[in-house]
């Protein structure tokens, strides 16, 4: 089965006002969006439910994080079960900002991935090296080490629920040997890192890029052009 192009908008800790949030919704709701693209936006948790209610039904929402326990004394955390109960279909896990600023280990990310899938969520799993690691040519090793605990905890069928967001799309080969060739063939690998309307066509025409995780540009009207990248490529 063909891998459906996937564009995620990671709002991070934005917008900072409800007015701005309304403007973002208006742009998405009024845009001519390519129906062949899966569009998922990840607002801060406080906006998940209102945004889901305001957005056109073709645009789904994702949480930016969750914990691996389903309830209990874990101040500040949200559980996969709570997201499912709120009707949220996706969660981003392992974002580089979680790994670096909040010290999430790959083992914790794997535990969260397991718990999220068990609860019925789909996971946008982020992996990637730091600039220093890239400069030291350690990308392959770092990304594979980040994926290893996830590979160890997921069953083959669980990978249907996963979209992988790396800075490098060169991990299909790793999945073919570490999981299974059919999983490597079917899993969507999306590119994340400074995607804009100016570079999305070039990135989106690469063979192994099945979409994008967009940060800064997802807060701007150009996000619509990024969503429609494939359609623009097809008609050019
Ligand atoms: P960016 O963020 O597009 O602003 O680089 C991408 C991400 O970190 O999700």
User: Is 136 in contact with 103 (CB distance < 8 Å)?
Assistant: no
- pLDDT per position as a tens digit, 163-198: 999 876 678 999 999 999 999 999 999 999 999 999
| 141 Cα: distance to centroid of ligand 1 (angstroms) | 22
Q: What is the mean pLDDT of residues 47-56?
A: 95
Structural domains for the chain: 5-235 (3.20.20.70)
d(CA 10, CA 63): 9
Is residue 1 very low, low, confident or very high in pLDDT (cuts 50, 70, 90)? low
Give me the half-sphere count of Cα atoms (radius 13 Å) on the Cβ side of residue 15: 15
**Encoding tokens for residue 180?**
């299974």
Which atom of ligand 1 is closest in space to residue 213's alpha carbon? 9
SS3 167: coil
pTM for the full model?
0.96
| 192 Cα: distance to centroid of ligand 1 (angstroms) | 6
């Amino acid at each position: 089965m063909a891998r459906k192009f996937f564009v995620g908008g990671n709002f991070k800790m934005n917008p900072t006002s409800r007015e701005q949030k309304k403007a973002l919704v208006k742009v998405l709701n009024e845009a001519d969006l390519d129906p062949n693209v899966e569009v998922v936006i990840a607002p801060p948790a406080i906006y998940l439910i209102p945004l889901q209610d305001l957005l056109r039904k073709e645009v789904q929402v994702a949480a930016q994080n969750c914990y691996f326990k389903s309830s209990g004394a874990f101040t500040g955390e949200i559980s996969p079960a709570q997201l499912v109960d709120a009707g949220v279909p996706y969660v981003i896990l392992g974002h580089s900002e979680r790994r670096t600023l909040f010290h999430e280990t790959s083992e914790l990310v794997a535990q969260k991935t397991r718990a999220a899938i068990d609860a019925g969520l789909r996971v946008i799993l982020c992996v990637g090296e730091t600039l220093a690691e890239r400069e030291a040519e350690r990308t392959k090793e770092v990304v594979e080490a980040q994926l290893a605990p996830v590979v160890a905890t997921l069953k083959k069928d669980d990978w249907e629920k996963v979209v992988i967001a790396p800075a490098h799309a060169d991990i299909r080969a790793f999945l073919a040997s570490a999981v299974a060739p059919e999983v490597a063939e079917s899993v969507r690998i999306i590119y994340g890192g400074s995607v804009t309307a100016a570079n999305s066509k070039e990135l989106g025409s690469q063979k192994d890029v099945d979409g994008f995780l967009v940060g800064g540009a997802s807060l701007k009207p150009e996000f619509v052009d990024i969503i429609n990248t494939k359609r623009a490529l097809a008609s050019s």
